[in-house]
Amino acid sequence: MNAEIITIGDEILIGQIVDTNSQFIGQQLNKIGVSVYQVTSIQDDKQHILNALKEAQERVDIVILTGGLGPTKDDITKKTIATYFKDDEVVEYPEVIAHIKALFKKINHPFKEIQKTQAQLPSKATLLMNTFGTAPGMWFFENETVFVSLPGVPYEMKGLIVNEVLPRIQKQYQLPYIFHKTIMTYGAGESTIAETLEHFEDNLPSYIKLAYLPSFGKVRLRLSAKGTDRELLEKELTSKVDEVYKLIPEFITGLDDDNSLEKRVGELLTKNKKTLATAESLTGGKIAATLVAVPGSSSYYKGSIVAYSEEAKINLLDVSAEIIKEHSVVSKQVALAMAKGLKNKLKTDFAVAVTGNAGPTQDKTDKSVGVVFIAFVSDNEKFVREFDFGQPREKVINRTVSKALEILQKEIL
Amino acid sequence: MNAEIITIGDEILIGQIVDTNSQFIGQQLNKIGVSVYQVTSIQDDKQHILNALKEAQERVDIVILTGGLGPTKDDITKKTIATYFKDDEVVEYPEVIAHIKALFKKINHPFKEIQKTQAQLPSKATLLMNTFGTAPGMWFFENETVFVSLPGVPYEMKGLIVNEVLPRIQKQYQLPYIFHKTIMTYGAGESTIAETLEHFEDNLPSYIKLAYLPSFGKVRLRLSAKGTDRELLEKELTSKVDEVYKLIPEFITGLDDDNSLEKRVGELLTKNKKTLATAESLTGGKIAATLVAVPGSSSYYKGSIVAYSEEAKINLLDVSAEIIKEHSVVSKQVALAMAKGLKNKLKTDFAVAVTGNAGPTQDKTDKSVGVVFIAFVSDNEKFVREFDFGQPREKVINRTVSKALEILQKEIL
């Protein structure tokens, strides 16, 4: 089964927000064996919505719309959907009014007349009740196609996808299995790997696909298998991963089933019962945010100090003012002092500190833009590595984050 | 002029990455007066790319593709574009080979035969040289339509958009002006505001549009104007903003031209020559990351302590173990102690600290899921506020971040 995700809202098209809804829906559909054929972001405009529905219906079996279900005038999705289904009508659903009144009572919010528009939905809709908000989702099955319309607020949409939409799709269709395995590599460019894997790739069976995902010094290789025979797919995928391991052993850093170095760091720390803290300058908390995004991180991750200023380095990490004066904030010495100070303060098993110049200007240092120092300290070991991540700023910051995580993973192993 | 952005890559459709490229391109096109009509994310598949190009050409004047320009087999964009333009051929561009060789020499990387595929491009392409990578962008003008193909690596794409694509579009077309003004409101739901603004909205001129963007307790109202008379548009937009100010004065917290409370906090701090630090528990660095994302933040933002664990609260923020034991980590007392400890350590003018229970479980506290304490300390003032942000986890964290920034803005004012 193929799906298309249609996200409605001018705010996506003018770049006011980034569309994370379609990413979540794509992941969830994949897990139950539905392939996403296309994601289409369109305007809050009747004709545009009608065109998109028609085109999607020609392309796929399942059409999922998000956005455009609020009570205000720029939200025209409901009426447009009614028009699309052979001039269906919008009718008032009393159960939705009861739901909104109950929700509002809980937060002491008066119920107003305009709220009734939230309960006016196409008569052909199967309602999907929204635990976290007022606008219900809708499910339609018309002309052998599933249409689902969901509110655009991310946590409302997520609740509806997981609790209502996925079980209904699984009930409606006999679904194949889709599996992905992602192999992480480091130290070789996309082209070098591709050259070595050319013969392997040419001989892949039709139900297995290989994709290259280069980013910031790493290349991830994704093998995807799709079919109805679960055992065969899993066996074949495992054997293809083994083949890749044999072909480029020197570049592989591990398997990465959900694309996350930080998760592996977390697993290693949990397994070895070790703790970690980080101190960041140029990355401004991005290493912390990456580590904390892993559920359960509070058991091994003890905290982070974002020491943006000299004062913070001195007062929070006990870096001496003399070292900064002598070597500048971007230096081997300061990176090491930050890591030592951090470990000492937080009594963790491991501490990582980064300082560098992300640019665009040189600031208070003699080091050129792109130069970064990463320090690692454990009970038995301490070292600092120097890198030149070039330009632009975004690249320097991102490479620092992934390099720090890589160093951590290696050292904990 | 209308544009469509086509992002190519299965990694977007399976939700392995989130498509931030189209957000950036949308923002940049809007600034020069180009409206983005649609964003379409498609598979690395020849027929799918051909279909998408054809459909886009029927809809818009400018088609911008990103992704699919690497040297490996899953990148088939170049050959497909050549096919699309009346069977154009792929030819080798010696200047691209020279560029790749020069880039590789800089980083001591050997040039391999497979790299030559990067230089094989449709013969009708105008090359857009890529300062930050090996794959050049391409510009075509065929059948009164501009086609641009760019690499998918974000910083390479950004460099090409800003330096090459925007100037060429401005040269090619007479462009209108597009202006947005976003009014921030707080304390009223979408429907309440819509009821009050109904008459205002009905009487807007055809070239001005109003949109509602609800998120986490706030509603942003975006007024967009598009036309050729710059002065008229700016005057009308300002006058419409004034009208909204008169209609709902009690709910407006300010104008938000680029949608960022953190930027206003930064401006206020810079103007008043004040400094700030933050201490975070449940938000895990998200307040820091939000503040640091503002260019120039290092002049007023002194740092952040992500005190995830009890030890961090005790060792880094001097919160006493007794207070934690008596009141639990999620308490008025601990929030205030965190803010005081922070201000004392970093000698800033303002300090904000947050602690709370984002769920899903209750952890080591007697407070229920959703309860958050935000403490603010300055030289003259200190207070703690208690909130119940409900569920789910994502909502609790996001509302804590925006509430902390709101409190800051108000207090600095």
DSSP labels, B346-405: HT-SEEEEEEE--SSS--SSSSPTTEEEEEEE-SS-EEEEEEE--S-HHHHHHHHHHHHH
Residue A79's CATH number: 3.40.980.10
Q: What is the pLDDT of residues B208-234, one digit of tens each?
A: 999 888 876 678 899 999 999 999 999
Angle at B59 between CA B58 and CA B65, to 5 degrees: 95
Residues A184 and A296 in one domain: no
Kindly state whether A13 is in contact with chain B, defined as any CB-CB distance less than 8 angstroms: yes
CA-CA distance, A392 to A373, in Å (whole number)? 17
What's the pLDDT band for B170 if we cut at 50, 70, 90? very high
Residues B160 and B223 in one domain: no
CB proximity list for B132: less than 8 A, separation 6 or greater: A391, A392, A395, B153, B155, B156, B159
Residues B146 and B13 in one domain: yes
Q: Which of A71, A159, A194 sits opposite B190 (nearest CB)?
A: A71
- From chain B, the residues in CB contact with A269 under 8 A are none
Instruction: Say which DSSP state B108 is in.
Output: T
Last residue within a domain, chosen from A207, A231, A255: A255
CA-CA distance, A93 to B226, in Å (whole number)? 38
User: Are A205 and B67 within 8 A, CB to CB?
Assistant: no
pLDDT of residue B36: 97
| Best CA proximity match to A218, nearest among A29, A91, A403 | A403
pLDDT of residue A113: 81
Residue B128, helix vs strand vs coil? strand
**Token pair 């008032």 in the structure block, residue:** A92
Task: Give the helix/strand (H/E) hosting A373.
Answer: strand A371-377
What's the pLDDT band for A26 if we cut at 50, 70, 90? very high
**Token pair 């919010």 in the structure block, residue:** A109
Task: Give the helix/strand (H/E) hosting A365.
Answer: none
Residues B229 and B309 in one domain: no
Residue A304's CATH number: 3.90.950.20
Chain A nearest CA to B240, separation (Å): 17
Residues B160 and B231 in one domain: no
Backbone angles phi, psi at A174, to 5 degrees: -80, 115
The total of other beta-carbon atoms located within 10 Å of residue A125's CB is: 22
Task: Give the helix/strand (H/E) hosting B318.
Answer: none
Q: Which of B73, B112, B292 sits opposite A284 (nearest CB)?
A: B292
Residue A231, helix vs strand vs coil? helix
- A392 and B71 within 8 Å at the Cβ level: the answer is no
Residue A161 in this model has a pLDDT that exceeds 60 = yes
Tokens of A139: 């499910």
Interface pTM, i.e. ipTM = 0.76
CB interface of A with B, residues 375-404, below 8 Å: 391-392, 394-395
Residue A211, helix vs strand vs coil? strand
Kindly state whether B45 is in contact with chain A, defined as any CB-CB distance less than 8 angstroms: no
CA-CA distance, B139 to A36, in Å (whole number)? 29
Residues B248 and B352 in one domain: no
Last residue within a domain, chosen from A255, A277, A304: A255
DSSP for A300-326, please give it.
TEEEEEE--SHHHHHHHH---HHHHHH
Residues B110 and B215 in one domain: no
- B277 and A312 within 8 Å at the Cβ level: the answer is yes
The total of other beta-carbon atoms located within 10 Å of residue A204's CB is: 16
Instruction: Say which DSSP state B217 is in.
Output: T
Residue B257 in this model has a pLDDT that exceeds 90 = no
Domains identified in chain B, total number: 3
**Token pair 């002194």 in the structure block, residue:** B302
Tokens of A192: 């070098």
Q: Which of A251-255, B50-54, B153-157 has the lowest mean pLDDT?
A: A251-255
Chain A nearest CA to B87, separation (Å): 25
Kindly state whether A109 is in contact with chain B, defined as any CB-CB distance less than 8 angstroms: yes
Q: What is the pLDDT of residues A358-394, one digit of tens each?
A: 876 666 667 888 899 999 999 999 999 999 988 777 7
pLDDT of residue B253: 76
CA-CA distance, B98 to B116, in Å (whole number)? 10
Residues A275 and A363 in one domain: yes
Kindly state whether A25 is in contact with chain B, defined as any CB-CB distance less than 8 angstroms: yes
- For A175-186, b where at least 16 C-beta lie within 10 A, e where not — what string? ebbbbbbbbbbb
Residues B402 and B265 in one domain: yes
Q: Which domain holds residue A302?
A: 261-412
Residue A222's CATH number: 3.30.70.2860
CB proximity list for B199: less than 8 A, separation 6 or greater: none
- A23 and B20 within 8 Å at the Cβ level: the answer is no
What's the pLDDT band for B134 if we cut at 50, 70, 90? confident
Instruction: Tally C-beta pairs within 8 A across A and B.
Output: 301
Q: Which of A290-304, B18-32, B41-55, B78-92 has the lowest mean pLDDT?
A: A290-304
pLDDT of residue B7: 97
| Best CA proximity match to A161, nearest among A30, A346, A252 | A30
- From chain B, the residues in CB contact with A189 under 8 A are 109
CB interface of B with A, residues 349-378, below 8 Å: none
Residues B323 and B397 in one domain: yes
Residues B143 and B223 in one domain: no
What's the pLDDT band for A103 if we cut at 50, 70, 90? confident
Helices (H), A116-222: 154-160, 166-172, 190-202
Angle at A354 between CA A353 and CA A355, to 5 degrees: 130
Q: Kindly provide the residue ranges of all beta strands, DSSP E only, lying in B9-163, ordered along the sequence.
A: 35-42, 62-66, 90-92, 120-122, 126-128, 137-142, 145-150
CB proximity list for B21: less than 8 A, separation 6 or greater: B5, B7, B66, B67, B152, B154, B157
What number is the average pLDDT over the span B400-408? 91
Percent of chain B predicted with pLDDT > 70: 97
Instruction: Say which DSSP state B331 is in.
Output: S
CA-CA distance, A186 to A352, in Å (whole number)? 21
Last residue within a domain, chosen from A217, A233, A255: A255
Instruction: Say which DSSP state B80 is in.
Output: H
The total of other beta-carbon atoms located within 10 Å of residue A117's CB is: 19
Chain A nearest CA to B109, separation (Å): 9
Residues A285 and A236 in one domain: no
What number is the average pLDDT over the span B344-364? 85
What number is the average pLDDT over the span A133-156? 92
Cα B107 to chain centroid distance, Å, stands at 32
- A190 and B132 within 8 Å at the Cβ level: the answer is no
CA-CA distance, A253 to A260, in Å (whole number)? 12
Q: Kindly provide the residue ranges of all beta strands, DSSP E only, lying in B29-115, ordered along the sequence.
A: 35-42, 62-66, 90-92
